[in-house]
Structure 1
Amino acid sequence: MDFSRLESLQYELNATNSSATNLPSTLLELVVPGYSTISQVAFRLLGIDIGVLVTGWALIFGCRTAWRYTYDLVQGYLEEHYTSSIQIDDDDDLFDYVKAWLAGQQTKRPSRKLKAVTDYDDNNKKNEDNISDVHGIYKYELPIPRYEPSYGSDNEFQHNGRTFRVSRSSMKDDNRGNNLKESLEIFCYGQTTQPIKDLLLHIRSWKVKQETSMTSVYRPLSGGYWSRQSCRPSRPLQTVSLDQEQKDDIVEDINEFLHPATARWYAARGIPHRRGYLFHGPPGTGKTSLSFALAGVFGLQVYCVSLNDKDLTEPDLCSLFDDLPDRCIVLLEDIDSAGLKREEEPSSTEEKKEGETESETSKDVAKQTSKTETSGGISLSALLNVIDGAAAHEGHVLIMTTNTPETLDAALIRPGRVDLQVAFTLATRAQIHETFMRMYSATPEEQATGSRIPIKSRPVSKITDPETLEGMARRFAEQLPESTFSPAEVQGYLLTRKKDPQRALDDVVRWRDEVLEAKKKGKRLVGAQ
């Protein structure tokens, strides 16, 4: 009996069954040219049926694609109906706070996309006591970077038992000259944004604790928006060389203005809720220092504007004042150097009374338009308009500083725009005495920790007795004439001898004579001290 045909049939059945479990060869040939040849060679040499492998890979790929599609579909539905989010733009203080807080958090899973940022402040504070070499030379090395969420990446983290997700993105902003505008968006599962609000309050409290006694300083950038330039330690008010009674009056006046009831009192009487101050006096007398000290006292941010900036336009100035927070200090430094033309004193009928309406203020601004000169891109009328025009911002404290108040236009400093003028004078005997005592007296922190500045090149002064120091301060003040040197000049001299009060007392006569001789000859430089 011939079994050859039976064996052939059995082989054909096996081949049929094999092809039934694999992808059709024709389809694979279309997708992978030369598949048939490759399959036969692999089968003869290795005994491997590539069709089985390709079929398995296709099944895995199909399952993965189906799972991903289903996952994205479900996630999209949840995000649309059961996810809340809050977006924070980079022109908001909270943007930097959130980034700094996130840098110290453990993410739910390690992120593969981060942005490295050099944080000089935090690293220097942590390592400032251990940065000197064997010779006592202080060397500040490059700090360790901190890591923030990168662009286009999603980072999940947990806080108080809840899972949050933060996404960072950027886009071009025409209002910023095509500069990038960044934003952070925080997500959480739920139909309310309250958990995110609680998180942001927590981050704000965390930042406030970090920046205790710190003052943020903002300056304008091109395009008419504010940018935080620095965050400096608040200057103690007692370090400002000004009559104590004057300082008390200013603090009391600002404190009353910032009281919540004051805003209601102004509104009830139709008075714009604004307060203006003019600090005037010779250079180096403490005008700017007092501005920053007041910001530290009341916990306010300082927004500095220079009218000499050639890139600053009138629309930018209006935009900057519109973006001011409700409570802050606006500092216009050296307003006299802006070159605004001084006009004749206004008549008594033009003076702004406390009950003057906004329309009357606008008319007064309009009268100045034809009589002003422009300095750079800012005219006097534009400046008056942003200070107290019909749509001017309210709630802030405006401080203008000048070395020559007599050159200012009368309309700029009339009541209603400048409510209190503070005169700064050259150093009096009392101020010289106070500066000497402040320079060489140990602070409460130094007394508690025993910290001192180690100057190895000369002996450190051992004079710590308050009575001895008081007598030295009195003799020092007697050697300097009143109303001749600015507080900055006296302080600059003492800084070169900051740990040796006896040397400062011994050298003061020579320094006094050199400076007076230089001033007499009209020189700006004096001989070596």
Structure 2
Amino acid sequence: MTSVGGHVAPSSTVVEAATDLGAQHGLVSSAWSHLKSNPYFSAGAGLYTLTIAAVVGRYAFKMFTSNARRKFVVSMETTNRDPSYDWLMQWLSRHPTFSFQQISVMTTNVMIHANEETTSHCTFAPCPNIPHWFLHRGWPMVVYRKRQVERAAGSDVLETIEMYTMGLSSHVMKDIVAEAKMQAVTRDSDKTVIYQNAGGRWTRVQEPRSRRPLSSVILDKNSREEILEDVRLFLQSRGYYQELGVPYRRGFLLHGPPGCGKSSLVMALAGELRLAICLLSLSNRALDDESLMSLLNTAPMRSIVLMEDIDRAFSHDSRVTMSGILNALDGVGAQEGRIVFMTTNHVERLDAALIRPGRADVKVEIGYVSHTQASQLFAKFYPSSSHRVREAFADALPEFRLSVAQIQSHLFLHRNSAEEAVRTMPAFVRQCDAFEEQLDKAREKERKLAKLKAPPLLPFQQ
């Protein structure tokens, strides 16, 4: 070893380090050779080491891919229980770059004509359980429509839509939902959207109805305009109700004979005020008190909850109780901002607690056609007719004897001739009276037969 000034020469240090490294390498190589030749290491320890290394490597890879997916992949999911599902399905079917070979057909607005001919509207959507790819404004998108085996409440199959793309922000997905919603709003802007209860949730009727003009509903006096102004004022009075500390709810009861325009009035009000209609069937066997409360609390805010033929709701098959519907209408957990319309043909059969103020704030009788209504109905069907002909038609019709539906059926039959409609009106009235008389006789006969079939009363029961 050579030293200069007490220091080891660099060249000697490098040589010495190399010699030591070679010696160590020789020792490692020798140890590894001994391990490989060791039968215990080859039989167990080596495989164990390799297994651990494989598990650690697989876990590290999964962590890497999971973090990369969380960081660089944007995803969105919705189910068919949410309104956005229908928005996205319609949006996908209209997207210019979304071309797919595996399709699913959704048919709506089916109309059956003569000779078994039908017309319908078909929406072609991506087939479920298969990934689909397309481009949206330069972004690569993946759509996966998943259909689950279990069923949702009611009879609808539970489905989900999952969308994926590459990116660092979710603004792409939010823009898609906003665009799909705008398309749906534009498409339904001149329509009345209708919901039905399927068990304990609302399902939208696929094809919305055309808005019915309020002028098409002919009521006696000024009741049509009064109800319209009442509903319009209620929609503008949330703050007023809150200042008074009064529950922000409004209930209407429309009663009268069948066919006089109760349901038609609700449809026209919804069209005039651009509200949705939620048809609530209390006779649905999947409906109980708990699901009724959930339905009324989850109804869309700008909607009318319509409960038709409320007097027939509490049948033997119904699971809804009177206390359940009373609590749902104005109990502690009842929803604010709700408009409820109840209709009945027999108001005398309703419990007084159901139609008291707070549950039925406004009660309107919609009865048989008056003289003024008859003249207005005739003018609607024959706008070019003279005042003399309209009055002749109204004079030929007995006041408060026929419903709007009956008179409209007669005017439809003679829609090509106003004079013929006036001339044949007396015969039509006699025909209606004869039918009602036969119907009353048949009902009386049924009552007598039912009384004869009833078991006789025992002395202590009399």
TM value normalised by structure 2: 0.74
SS of 2:192 mapped into structure 1:
strand
Deviation at 1:329, TM superposition (A): 0.8
Sort the Cα spacing of 1:117 and 1:487 in 2 relative to 1 into closer, same or farther, 3 A.
Answer: same
User: Aligned partner of 1:228: which letter?
Assistant: R
CA offset at residue 172 of structure 1?
Answer: 4.2
Structure 2 portions without partners, runs of 5+: 1-60, 443-462
Is 2:233 the counterpart of 1:256?
Answer: yes
Q: Which of 197, 201, 215 is equivalent to 1:220?
A: 197
Distance between the aligned counterparts of 2:221 and 2:189, measured in 1?
Answer: 25
Q: CA distance change for structure 1 residues 163 and 424 in 2, over 3 Å: closer, same or farther?
A: same
> By how many angstroms is 1:479 displaced?
0.4
Q: 1:414 aligns with which of 333, 356, 359?
A: 356
Number of the residue aligned with 2:412: 495
- Paired with 1:141 and 1:304, the residues of 2 have a C-alpha distance of 26
* Structural mapping, 1:108-507, within 5 Å: 110-120=99-109, 140-141=117-118, 145-173=122-150, 176=153, 180-222=157-199, 224-229=200-205, 230-243=207-220, 245-259=222-236, 262-339=237-314, 376-441=318-383, 466=384, 468-507=385-424
8 Å contact from structure 1 (residues 169, 182) kept in 2 = yes
Q: Distance in 2 between matches of 1:178 and 1:508?
A: 48
Maintained 8 Å contact 2:314/2:320 = no
Does the CA-based 8 Å contact 1:173-1:179 persist in structure 2? no
In the TM superposition, what is the alpha-carbon distance from 1:187 to its structure 2 partner?
Answer: 3.2
**Counterpart of 2:193 in 1: which secondary structure?**
strand
Per-residue deviation at 1:144?
7.8
Counterparts of 2:220 and 2:423, CA distance in 1: 27
| Unmatched tracts of structure 1, length 5 or more | 1-70, 132-136, 341-373, 442-465
Q: Deviations over 1:149-190 (max 9, x none)?
A: 111233333444544433211224565279631111233433
Distance 1:160 1:174, change over 3 A: closer
Q: Give CA-to-partner distance per residue, 1:237-290, whole Å, 9 cap, x none.
A: 11112136222221111112212xx22332333222111111111111111111
* 8 Å Cα contact 1:107/1:155 also seen in 2: no
C-alpha distance 89-244 of structure 1, shift in aligned 2 (>3 A): farther
Tell me if structure 2 keeps the 8 A contact 1:117–1:145: yes
When residues 409 and 145 of structure 1 are mapped into structure 2, their CA distance, relative to the original with a 3 A threshold, is closer
Q: 1:81 to 1:391 in 2, by over 3 A?
A: same
Q: Identify if the C-alpha distance between structure 1 residues 500 and 274 changes in structure 2 by more than 3 Å, giving closer, same or farther.
A: same
CA distance in 2, matches of 1:305, 1:287: 15
* Structure with the largest fraction of strand: 2
Determine if contact 2:261/2:366 at 8 Å carries over to the other structure.
Answer: yes
CA–CA separation in structure 2 for the residues paired with 1:500 and 1:164: 61
Contact 2:106 2:123 in 1 (8 A): yes
Greater C-alpha Rg: 2
From the superposition, tell whether residues 111 and 246 of structure 1 become closer, same or farther in structure 2 (CA, over 3 Å): same
* 1:140 Cα offset (Å): 4.1
SS in 1 for 2:134: strand
1:405 Cα offset (Å): 1.6
Equivalent residue of 1:378, what SS?
Answer: coil
Residues of 2 paired with 1:231 and 1:420: CA distance?
28
Deviation digits for residues 129-152 of structure 1 (CA, Å, limit 9, x no counterpart): xx9xxxxx9984565844201112
Match of 1:517?
434
